[in-house]
Amino acid sequence: MTRHATGQASVPTRRRAEEVDWNRGADRPQASELPPILPATRALLGNLPAQADGLILDLGCGVGVPAFEAARQNPAARVLGVDQAVRVIDTARALAAAHGIANADFKVMSLDALTLPDSSVDAAISQFSFLQEGDLTGSTKELARVLKDGSPFSVAAWDTIELNTLVSHADRVLRRHVPAELLPDFDYLTQLASPGLRERLLREAGISTLHTEMFPFHLKTPSAAAVIFAPVPFGRARDSLAASELEIVKSELDQETAEFRTGDGTYAFPVACRLFWGNK
C-alpha cells in the first residue's frame, strides 16, 4: 500500500531537552551474542532487492541490527553501520570480530552529517532510528545525498506509541512512580507519526519512489518487566527507583499486561511499526 503526503504538518521538536542515552545500548545482558533478529528486521530487508552488492548503509545501527543480518544475506556486499553513540559502535565492532563477520564495518557518524561522499551508497537500511531520532530534515537530505540515483532504501520506524503495547504499558506504570523528566518523550514519536509528515520529508529530500505500510508483529519477551531492565529506553527511570519501588512497578506491570502472557509463562506483545521503502 502506498500512502502519499496529505498535509503539511511541521516537524515536531522534543518537549524536553533530555534524550535517551543510546550508549546504554552497549550494556547488553548477553554481551557476546549477536543481537536478536526481529520480524521487522526481516520485513525491512525483504523490501530490498535480493543479493545486493556494493555498499549497504545501516543508519543508526546500534549494536548491529539490521547490519549483521544484511551482511549475512548479502555476502558480496560491504555493510557499513553508523551511529552517533560511541559505545554501541565499539560493541558492534567487537561482535563483528568475535563472530567473523568480515563484510560489516561500523563508524561513529551523525545521521544528519554523514561523512560519506555524494552518491556513494548502493542501498540504505535502518531499524528504529532513522525517521524517528535526531534532525529528520537533515537526515533525510543526507540519505538522498549519499544514495546513488535509483538506489533502494528500506526503513522500519515506530508509529504512534500506543501501537507498541510493551513500551506504552511500561511507560504508563512508570509514570506513577518517577518524575516525567526521567522518561522518554514518547509524545514526540507520536507527533512524528502524523499522516504524511515523514513521507513529505523524504520526497522533499529527493526520494523519487516511495512506499509505506504498517507492519504488525509480536514482540516476545521472557517477562513484562524485561523492558524495564533493558538498557534503553527506561534505564534512567529504573535507576531512580529503590529496590522496593522497583518490585511494586514490576508487580503492577505484570497485572496490567496479564492478557499478553502465553501458555509457557512468557509474553507476546502485539506491536506495529511503519515500513518505508523505495528508491532515490
Write the pLDDT tens digit of every residue in 228-254: 988 888 988 999 999 999 999 999 999
The reported pLDDT for the residue numbered 50 is: 81
The reported pLDDT for the residue numbered 166 is: 95
**Residue ranges of the chain with per-residue pLDDT less than 70:** 1-8, 13-31
Q: 9 and 197 in contact (C-beta within 8 Å)?
A: yes
Domain 22-161+184-218+272-279, CATH number (from 3.90.730.10, 3.40.50.300, 3.40.50.150, 3.40.50.720): 3.40.50.150
How far is 154 from 146, CA to CA, in rounded Å? 15
Q: Which of 95, 30, 106 is nearest to 61 (CA)?
A: 106
The reported pLDDT for the residue numbered 187 is: 87
Q: Extract the C-alpha cell encoding 253.
A: 506491570
What are the helix (H) ranges across 134-257? 136-146, 165-174, 186-192, 197-205, 226-229, 235-239, 243-256
How far is 44 from 154, CA to CA, in rounded Å? 6
The reported pLDDT for the residue numbered 19 is: 53
Q: 121 and 146 in contact (C-beta within 8 Å)?
A: yes
The reported pLDDT for the residue numbered 28 is: 64
The reported pLDDT for the residue numbered 79 is: 98
What are the boundaries of each domain within the chain? 22-161+184-218+272-279
How far is 260 from 220, CA to CA, in rounded Å? 10
